[in-house]
């Protein structure tokens, strides 16, 4: 036998039943909903009052959502935001961009995001799901994946590079889909004519329209990170440099929608 939590009547226990009848259970559910709703309204009202008070004391220095949440605060000339995880007031540079939020930044700071990501990936099922999602994205966005890899590689070499997929397609068409050295059409890659990480330790060159040459994997491996003038003849070196200038000129005309014949 068990005592009902509403009327106090004793009733035979059937599983995890807490109330003697459906009527007592309905009363319990309705009461809990009213209590939860009242406490939620109280919390929201207190938050709005606190936010409005802060806004009154710091005129034009705070941005508030309709629910009374302070999302951006101007402190010492720097816009800051409170992390929803660690509750630290941090500059906006500590948050990743998220266009889905009202202020354009994520709820968690970058540090808390990394901690949450590590915790999430500690679960084998979620880790495998995340790997499958990344694998599908790479398969469906090969051009963007290559561009992102090139940016990371250039950043590691302390070079600012932004060679977009549109530039890659334009350069491939410019070189007629053939290796600029031997004319082969198989296993082509976009190569830095002037190397990103020179063998002599000099200043690296970013991949751009005046430095992008289509090569086969064999010629690319032979060239490696050497200066082209050191391994190619002067005639071939001059011809490639001339074509690179023409490629940059054609790209400039294409971006301005000017016909190449003019």
Residue 240 confidence (pLDDT): 92
Min mean pLDDT across 32-36, 143-147, 206-210 is at: 32-36
102: pLDDT confidence band, cut at 50, 70 and 90?
A: low
pLDDT tops 70 at residue 74: no
Would you give the distance in Å from CA 136 to the centre of its chain? 16
For residue 80, list its beta bridge partners: 73, 91
pLDDT tops 70 at residue 69: no
35: pLDDT confidence band, cut at 50, 70 and 90?
A: very low
214: pLDDT confidence band, cut at 50, 70 and 90?
A: very high
CB atoms within 10 A of CB 249: 13
For 107-160, what is each residue's pLDDT tens digit?
Answer: 889 999 989 888 888 888 888 888 898 899 888 988 888 888 888 888 888 888
Distance, CA of 13 to CA of 20 (rounded, Å): 9
Number of residues written out for the chain? 262
Residue 112 confidence (pLDDT): 92
For 2-33, what is each residue's pLDDT tens digit?
Answer: 777 666 777 777 666 777 777 777 666 665 54
Both structure tokens of 229: 């003038």
Mean pLDDT score, 78-94: 82
**What percent of the chain clears pLDDT 70, i.e. is strictly above it?**
74
**Whether the Cβ atoms of residue 199 and residue 226 lie closer than 8 Å to each other:** yes
DSSP code of residue 253: H
Per domain, the residue ranges of the chain are: 1-57, 59-122, 142-255
260: pLDDT confidence band, cut at 50, 70 and 90?
A: low
34: pLDDT confidence band, cut at 50, 70 and 90?
A: very low
Helices 142-156, 124-140: axis angle to 10 degrees equals 100
Mean pLDDT score, 189-208: 86
**Whether the Cβ atoms of residue 47 and residue 67 lie closer than 8 Å to each other:** yes
Distance, CA of 125 to CA of 130 (rounded, Å): 9
**What percent of the chain clears pLDDT 90, i.e. is strictly above it?**
11
Q: What is the pTM of this model?
A: 0.53
Distance, CA of 89 to CA of 84 (rounded, Å): 10
Min mean pLDDT across 70-84, 127-141, 163-177 is at: 70-84
Where is mean pLDDT largest: 30-34, 45-49, 190-194, 252-256? 190-194
Q: Say whether domain 59-122 belongs to CATH 3.30.60.
A: yes
């Amino acid at each position: 036998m068990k005592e009902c939590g509403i009327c106090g009547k004793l009733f035979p226990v059937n599983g995890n039943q807490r109330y003697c009848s459906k009527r007592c259970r309905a009363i319990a559910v309705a009461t809990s909903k009213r209590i939860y709703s009242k406490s939620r309204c109280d919390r929201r009202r207190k938050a709005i009052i606190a936010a409005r008070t802060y806004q009154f004391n710091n005129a034009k220095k705070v941005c508030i959502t309709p629910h009374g949440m302070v999302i951006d605060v101007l402190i010492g000339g720097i816009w800051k935001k409170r992390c929803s995880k660690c509750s630290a007031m941090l500059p906006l540079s500590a948050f990743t961009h998220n266009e889905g939020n009202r202020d354009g930044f994520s709820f968690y700071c970058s540090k808390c995001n990394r901690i949450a990501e590590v915790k999430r990936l500690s679960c084998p099922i979620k880790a495998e799901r995340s790997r499958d999602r990344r694998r599908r994205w790479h398969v469906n966005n090969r051009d963007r994946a290559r561009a992102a890899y090139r940016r990371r590689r250039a950043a590691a070499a302390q070079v600012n590079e932004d060679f977009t997929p549109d530039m890659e397609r334009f350069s491939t068409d410019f070189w007629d889909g053939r290796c600029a050295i031997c004319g082969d059409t198989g296993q082509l890659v976009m190569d830095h004519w002037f190397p990103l990480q020179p063998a002599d330790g000099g200043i690296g060159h970013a991949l751009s329209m005046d430095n992008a040459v289509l090569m086969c994997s064999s010629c690319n491996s032979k060239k490696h990170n050497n200066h082209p003038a050191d391994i190619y003849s002067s005639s071939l070196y001059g011809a490639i440099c001339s074509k690179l200038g023409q490629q940059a000129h054609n790209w400039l005309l294409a971006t301005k929608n000017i016909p190449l014949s003019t």
